[in-house]
Structure 1
Amino acid sequence: MADKYQWFKVKVLGVEQQTPLIKRFTLAREDGQALPAFTGGSHVIVQMQEADGRQHSNAYSLLSDPADTRHYQIAVRLEDPSKGGSAFMHRQVEVGTVLTLSSPNNLFAIDPSAARHVLIAGGIGITPFLAQLPELRASGADYQLHYAFRSPEHGAFHPELMAGPHAERTRLYIDSQGQTLDIHALIAGLDDAAHLYVCGPRPLIDAVIDTARQLGVADSRVHWEQFAATTPANSGAFSVTLARSGRELWVEEGMSILQAIESAKAATVECLCREGVCGTCETQILQGEAEHLDQYLSDEEKAAQKTLMICVSRARGASLVLDL
C-alpha cells in the first residue's frame, strides 16, 4: 500500500498564528514545480524528522484553493499532550524549513450527486471545508457552512470567512457569546436532496450522525472526517496471532495492534499516519473479525472483514489471526 503515495520535499514559505493553539503553514515544492492537483477535502501526510532521528508522520487537511497548486496550506493545532507531530510543527518549523510531503488523498470529497451541501465544522474541523468552499462556489452549487467554536480568539479563519465571498452562506456559533448550534433543528429542516458534511471533535461528529439517523436521513447522505481515532468504550484486551511467525501477542486495552507488534518487535510494518487514514498498514485478516475504526476502508470493505488497519482497529471478539 505504501507505493500509492508520491513523496517530495517542500519548503515552508509562511507561518501564521491563527489562534493561541493553531498555526497555518504555507508550503511550496523545493524544486519550484507545481504541486499535485487536489480536490476539496483532501489531506496530505507530513513527515517530520527530529534531530535525534525520531520521525513523525501526521495527516493534515489541505485548506488552500484547489485551483492554485503553486502552494499548499495546512493548519496544525497544538495538541496537549502531543504525540510529537503537532509540537514539532509549532516549535521547530519556521520559514525556510524543509519537510517531506505526500501526494494528496481524499476521503472526504464533496458528493456530486447532492443538490445541496450543508457543511458543519467544529474548531479545527473547519480546515477541509476551506478548500471545499471555493470548489462549491465555482461550480454554482447550493451550499451553507455552519461553524461552531468556543470563543472569538479560538475561531480560526472566521475573520477571513466573514470578509470573503462565502460570508452570506456562513453562520457562526460562538459558545462564549451564547450562540449554540442546534443540530436537531438544522437537520430536521433539510430536504431529501441535501447532504451533510461534518468535521471536528468526536462528540460533534457523533451528534450529527446520531441525529441524522434518528430523523431518517440516509447514511449515504452523511459524510464525516476525523483524523484522531477513538477507542470504543467497550473495547477490551484481545490476542493477535501473527500467522507467518506463529507468535501470539496480547493487545491491552488502550493499546493498538501496531503498538503491540512494535513493542514485541514481532514484525516490521509500515504505517505513515497512525490514525487510520493513509492505508499503509492495511493487513489481511485470516481468522476473526475486526472492529473497524479507520476512515480508509469503505463500508463494504469493512463489512467484508478481509482486511483491517492495525494502527487503529481492534478485534470484535477475543482474538484475531493476521497475515503477518
Structure 2
Amino acid sequence: MANTYEMFSVRVTAVEQATPQIKRFTLARADGLPMPAFTGGSHVIVKMADGLSNAYSLMSDPRDLSHYQIGVRLEEQSKGGSAFMHQQVKVGSELTISTPNNLFALDPKAGRHVMIAGGIGITPFLSQLHELETGAVPYELHYAFRSPEHGAFHAELAEGPHAGKVRFYIDSEERRLDLAALFASLEANDHVYVCGPKPLIDAVIEDAKKAGIADAHVHFEQFAAAPASGGAFTLVLGRSGRELRVEEGMTIIQAIENVKAATVDCLCREGVCGTCETRILEGEVEHFDQYLSDEEKASQQTLMLCVSRARGERLVIDL
C-alpha cells in the first residue's frame, strides 16, 4: 500500500542558472552526513513552504554522496513549486527532501540503452550516464531542445566523457529527431527510455509500437500530473459512507480536501510518490500515475488519489 518516505533537511550550497528557465540546485545534508545512496533515474520529493511539494530527478553522480543535484524548470503555469524554487531558494536556504525512489531505472537485461530526452527531461539521464561510464553495455543519448539557449547542460555533454555517445537535435536549427529511423536501427534486446514533454513521450510510445518494439522495452517518465479530464462522478468514502461529488476538472484529493472529509498524505500530487495510494472497494478507475506497474493498474486494487479518476458514475474507496 501507500509508500512512506524518510524526510530529512538539506541546505542549498549552490544555485546555477543553466538556461533562462532552468536552474541547477546543489543540496547537502544540514547535519553534514552523507546523502542516502541512490541509483540513476531516482527522484526525491522536495517539500517547500506553504505545503508545496514536487518530485525532481537526481542528476548528480550516484558515486558521490556528498551532495545531490536537481534541475528545476520554471513552469509557465506553475502550481507554485517551481516558482518558489526559482524566486525564493538561494544559497543557504534550507529545504526538506525525501529519501530517493527510482521509477525510471536502467534495465539490467538491456543489450543497449537508447535514451531520449526533451528539455528538462535530460535530468534523470545525467545520473544514469555516470553509472554507464564504467559499464560494458552500449548506450546512446538523443537530446532534443528548442534552441541553443534552452539546451540545459549541453556543454557538459558535448565536451565530457559521453561526447561520442550524445546526439543533439535543435528545433531552431531544423535538426529534428527521426524516431522511425532510430527505432528501425534497434536490435531485439535494446531498451528505449524517454523523459520530457508529454508530446515527445506519446510520440516515442506510438512510434515504438509501430516499429514492433516490445512494450516492456520502452520506459518513460514525466513529472507532471495528468489533467483531471473526464466527467464528474460520485466518490464514496467506504469507512464513513460519506458521498462527495468529484467535478470535471477536479482531482479526487481536491474533492476530499475541499470539505475536509478525510486526512490524506500526498507528497507529490503528480502520481509518482505513492503516498496517497488507497484501496478500491467498488468501481474501476483510470490510472494516470507512474507509480503502479501495468499489472497493478489492470488489477484495479488500488489508486492514486492525486491523479486517478473513476471510469463510471460511482467509485468507493477505503477511506
Q: Match for 1:112 among 99, 108, 115?
A: 108
Q: Please give the per-residue CA displacement for 1:270-292, whole angstroms capped at 9, x wherever unaligned.
A: 10000000000001000001101
Map residues 1-324 of structure 1 onto 2, 5 A cutoff. Answer: 4-49=4-49, 54-231=50-227, 235-324=230-319
How many residue pairs get aligned? The number is 319
Distance in 2 (CA, whole Å) between partners of 1:251 and 1:159 is 47
Q: Hey, what's the Cα distance between the residues in 1 that align with 2:3 and 2:271? A: 17
Compute the TM-score of the two structures, normalised by the length of structure 1. Answer: 0.96
In structure 2, C-alpha distance between the alignment counterparts of 1:186 and 1:232, rounded to whole Å:
33
Question: How far off is 1:249 after superposition?
Answer: 1.2
- TM-score normalised per structure 2: 0.98
- Which structure 2 residue ranges, 5 or more long, are not aligned? none
Calculate the aligned-residue CA RMSD, in Å: 1.1
- What code does the residue aligned with 2:200 have? L
Residue 5 of structure 1 and its aligned partner are, at CA, apart by: 1.1
Alpha-carbon distance in structure 2 between the residues aligned to 1:78 and 1:207: 24
Sequence identity (%): 69
Using the alignment, how far apart are the partners of 2:27 and 2:134 within structure 1?
A: 24
**Structure 2 Cα separation of the partners of residues 226 and 82 of structure 1:** 15
Q: 1:215 to 1:3 in 2, by over 3 A?
A: closer
Question: What's the CA shift for 1:65?
Answer: 0.5
Distance 1:138 1:98 in 2: 34
Residue deviations 1:125-147 (CA, integer Å, cap 9, x gap): 00000000111122122000000
Q: Distance in 2 between matches of 1:274 and 1:320?
A: 20
Residues 204-261 of structure 1 deviation map (CA, whole Å, 9 limit, x = unaligned)? 000000111112111000000001022376x221111111121111111211100111
Deviations 1:184-204 (A, max 9, x none): 111121110110000000000
Letter in 2 for 1:260: A
Distance, in Å, in 1 between the alignment partners of 2:248 and 2:188 is 41
Q: How far 1:317 sits from its partner (Å)? A: 1.6
9-18 vs 184-193, greater mean Cα deviation: 184-193
Q: Secondary structure at the match of 1:184?
A: helix
Unmatched 5+ residue regions in structure 1?
A: none
Q: Would the alpha carbon gap of residues 275 and 3 (structure 1) be closer, same or farther in structure 2, given more than 3 Å must change?
A: closer
3-state DSSP of counterpart to 2:203: helix
Which consecutive segments of 4 or more residues in structure 1 shift more than 3 A?
none
Partner amino acid for 1:18? A
- Secondary structure of 1:278's partner? coil
